[in-house]
Structure 1
Amino acid sequence: EWQDQYNNPLFDVPQPTLNLGCIHGGDNPNRICGQCSLEYDLRPLPGMEPDQLRDAIAGRLRPVADRHQVKIDLAPLFPSVPAFDQGADGELVKLAERLTGHAAEAVAFATEAPYLQQLGCETLVLGPGDIACAHQPDEYLDLDRIEPTVRLLRGMIEHYCLQPASRG
């Protein structure tokens, strides 16, 4: 249902995903399991509210628990991270595109961006590294990525801090 309702072609995987990634239960193959835990990873798209998604999952599981007379405890392993969405038409995005010569694109990884956005800041995720090697053993940053990033930051500082604001 969510895959029918939500679709964002900006992402490589344009629908939300749900992975039942970790199941633990029982202690011996010849005994009936007294309890079992299932940990799942839900990756929402921008516009999907994590708490509403959790409530929807709970609503689907309650009738199953009632029918089989079992208790289901649902608890997040960590607080949800809201999906981040910054409109492509924002001034900051347009400035970054102009200064870098690259079009903005959507990425499928978590950052602090939604929290900065919640503070009222126009926000984008931008950096010199290659996400394919980020947070990996032997992570590195090619030295030829530093100077273009310095030029970009100087251009942004000049635009926002040194140029007088236009009066309309």
Structure 2
Amino acid sequence: MSLSSREMLARLIAFPSVSTSSNLDLIHFCRDWLQSHGVESTLVMSPEGDKANLYATIGPRVEGGIVLSGHTDVVPVEGQAWTSDPWTLTERDGRLYGRGTTDMKGFDALVLALVPDMVQAPLKRPIHIALSYDEELACRGAPSMVRAMADTIPTPAAVIVGEPTRHAVVTGHKASVQLRTHVTGYAVHSSRIDQGVSAVMNAARLITWHEDVMEENRRRVDPANPFEPPYTTLHCGMIVGGTAANIVSSSAWFFSDIRAIPTEDPVEYMERYKAYIRDVIEPRMKAVVPETGIAVELIAEVPGLRPETDGEAERLMRRLTGDNGTHVVSYGTEAGLFQKVGWSTVVCGPGDIAQAHQPDEYIEISEFAAGERVLRRLVSDLCA
């Protein structure tokens, strides 16, 4: 059985593998597809058992192969104004529309559609396929897969993370941490706020701290820094708290993230944040009601991707794509996880990141075709 790249993309898009849901239907489809071509695969399950990573090897089990890495989850479509069904691949005006076409089922589809060709090719070095879950949730799924691969597959020469870069060879991205801060206050009627401790108002102070530190970073920016923006950012994206307008709130919590340029460490910012809480905010709260306080939870940590000196992955993809520019991105990927185990890694794939997470997400047909050409060159390269 064979499927064209577009047919494979249509199959993958039809799975609504939003990060908040299970991806097992999609993973079982991928596993069955590989099995139908004689390729055994390994599943690495989530702790809850409702999601899975998948990895597989095609070709000889020798060192020097290439890892092709993609994620299977997508972001939600609720609240977005789509003009076509997001779970049905739709062609219009030289574009293929559907949730995940760019981020990043387009790359996944190209890899899977070429499996029959990979199996038939006289590969001298292997191709390792790696498909993860929950990349959109701060890369929660990939760490267990990368550890399993490091323990079981021959050391690869390079890892290609196929996030959408329009085939620019991206050699660096920011590191990040995601935090959950819970503020415990003390509720009283708002007319006697002097006897209470407002969780919401103290949460507001902490959120303002994020913005103030980011403004400090912006003012001392290095003009030569290639990132956009060229400084470490601190951001609060969600806050919940309080019960009524005239009650001093007893509880509030919020999510924040810190995305650091390569010369800085987001964990150091987190420790600075905790020190501010311990030394400045909590003493004021506890002076009124000792039982109040603030807890900071590290939800996720995504390592950055650092440019390598004479990296094999960079050399390979420059040869295959013809790109000789210097490229870094501010968003995170799973690339740093592979690099952390000592594997040369770059980010390079079809599509434009500007389309990621958008209503009417699409990949240009020309970009999709270019992606197939690049992968076919890769297969040929591994036969030489």
TM, length-normalised to structure 1: 0.79
Deviation at 1:146?
A: 3.0
Asked if 1:21 corresponds to 2:214, the answer is no
Separation of aligned partners in 2, 1:5 and 1:94: 34
Paired residue for 1:72, among 294, 297, 322? 294
Asked if 1:55 corresponds to 2:276, the answer is no
Asked if 1:81 corresponds to 2:297, the answer is no
What SS does structure 2 have at the residue aligned with 1:75?
strand
Gap regions ≥5 residues in structure 2:
1-212, 287-291
Checking the alignment, whether the CA contact within 8 Å between 1:92 and 1:124 is kept in structure 2 is: yes
Deviation at 1:158?
A: 4.0
Q: Which amino acid aligns with 1:146?
A: F
Checking the alignment, whether the CA contact within 8 Å between 1:86 and 1:122 is kept in structure 2 is: no
Separation of aligned partners in 1, 2:343 and 2:269: 26
- Structure number with bigger Rg: 2
Separation of aligned partners in 1, 2:337 and 2:314: 18
What SS does structure 2 have at the residue aligned with 1:106?
strand
Q: Which amino acid aligns with 1:74?
A: V
Separation of aligned partners in 2, 1:51 and 1:114: 15
Asked if 1:9 corresponds to 2:225, the answer is yes
TM, length-normalised to structure 2: 0.38
Paired residue for 2:314, among 93, 96, 104? 93
**1:20-62: CA deviation from partner (whole Å, max 9, x where unpaired):** 3333322111111112223222112224333333222101110
Match of 2:99 in 1: none
Tell which deviates more after alignment, 88-97 or 20-29: 88-97
Matches within 5 A, 1:1-168: 3=217, 9-64=225-280, 65-69=282-286, 70-76=292-298, 78-87=299-308, 89-102=310-323, 103-159=325-381, 161-163=382-384
Deviation at 1:81?
A: 0.9
Separation of aligned partners in 1, 2:237 and 2:371: 38
Deviation at 1:12?
A: 1.4
How many residues align structurally?
161
Separation of aligned partners in 1, 2:300 and 2:317: 31
CA RMSD of aligned residues (A): 2.6
**Cα distance, 1:98–1:150 mapped onto 2, change above 3 Å:** same
Checking the alignment, whether the CA contact within 8 Å between 1:46 and 1:83 is kept in structure 2 is: yes
Gap regions ≥5 residues in structure 1:
164-168
Separation of aligned partners in 2, 1:88 and 1:17: 27
Checking the alignment, whether the CA contact within 8 Å between 1:6 and 1:15 is kept in structure 2 is: yes
Tell which deviates more after alignment, 109-118 or 81-90: 81-90
Separation of aligned partners in 2, 1:155 and 1:88: 24
Give the share of equivalent positions with the same residue, in percent. 32
Deviation at 1:6?
A: 7.6
Which contiguous aligned blocks of 4+ residues in structure 1 show a shift greater than 4 angstroms? 4-8
Q: Larger strand proportion, structure 1 or 2?
A: 2
**Cα distance, 1:150–1:122 mapped onto 2, change above 3 Å:** same
Match of 1:166 in 2: none
